Amino acid sequence: MLKIMQSEIVATAVRPQQYPEDNLAEAAFAGRSNVGKSSLLNLITGRKNLARVSGSPGKTQTINFYLVNKDHDPFRIVDLPGYGYAKVSKKITQDWGVMMETFLTTRKGLKKVFQLVDIRHKPTAQDVQMYEFLKYYNLDGPVIATKADKVSKREMQKQMQIIRNTLEMDKDAVIIPVSALKKTGVDEVLEAIEQVISQG
């Protein structure tokens, strides 16, 4: 079982020249702004403030690279900037698109992208678009249903089925419910990361 012993931010990028230069294996987190990407990173690394978390959407606007376990079987987790929050200019939306597409289509060490969706809601049109894009490039990894503490056990099953149907996930594709608040789902996410990182 993967254990995260050590983690640190190693790059903050908006363009490829700012990416780490080597092709170390990477897994990335994508999803709507405010869905809980940075919180998930903090949860699995056991670090409260590794990635900045905020109540106001649009906190992470750069591609942030985190080096994990640098002394033993190192890999990177990449926290991607969120999409879908209101009040952004057309220019920022365009820049976001270029930044994401460039990263997702050129990154040699990138194994899979974990798509995060809020367990309470049906995935948005942008979530669907994002997941389709990932599938097209064979980058679709497990889907993470965040904020699982906000629903009952029964509701959880129902919502997961809605997520599966709306994203048109493959039968064998996995959804992992996670709560950063209750600290649940960590082992499942670590196991999924281990699997993704070790793939050829």
Ligand X SMILES: Nc1nc2c(ncn2[C@@H]2O[C@H](COP(=O)(O)OP(=O)(O)OP(=O)(O)O)[C@@H](O)[C@H]2O)c(=O)[nH]1
Q: Judging by beta carbons within 10 Å of its beta carbon (0-12, 13-18, 19+), is residue 166 exposed, middle or buried?
A: middle
64 vs 67: CA distance, rounded Å: 10
Residue from 34, 45, 60, 115 touching Mg ion (CB under 5 A): that is 60
Q: Interaction with Mg ion in 62-81: which residues (CB under 5 A)?
A: none
Q: For ligand X, how many residues bind (rule: CB under 6 A)?
A: 23
Owner of token pair 């702004």: 33
**Tokens read off for 91:** 């220019």
Q: Interaction with ligand X in 41-60: which residues (CB under 6 A)?
A: 53-55, 57-60
* Segment interacting with ligand X, rule: CB under 6 A, options 15-23, 28-36, 69-77, 123-131: 28-36
Does position 147 interact with Mg ion (CB under 5 A)? The reply is: no
Q: Interaction with ligand X in 5-24: which residues (CB under 6 A)?
A: none
Which of 38, 115 has the CB closer to ligand X?
A: 38
175 vs 36: CA distance, rounded Å: 15
Residue from 145, 163, 180, 193 touching ligand X (CB under 6 A): that is 180
Least separation in angstroms between CB 158 and Mg ion: 27
Question: DSSP letters of 87-148?
Answer: S--HHHHHHHHHHHHHHHHH-TTEEEEEEEEETTSPPPHHHHHHHHHHHHTT-EEEEEEE-G
Which of 7, 60 has the CB closer to Mg ion?
A: 60
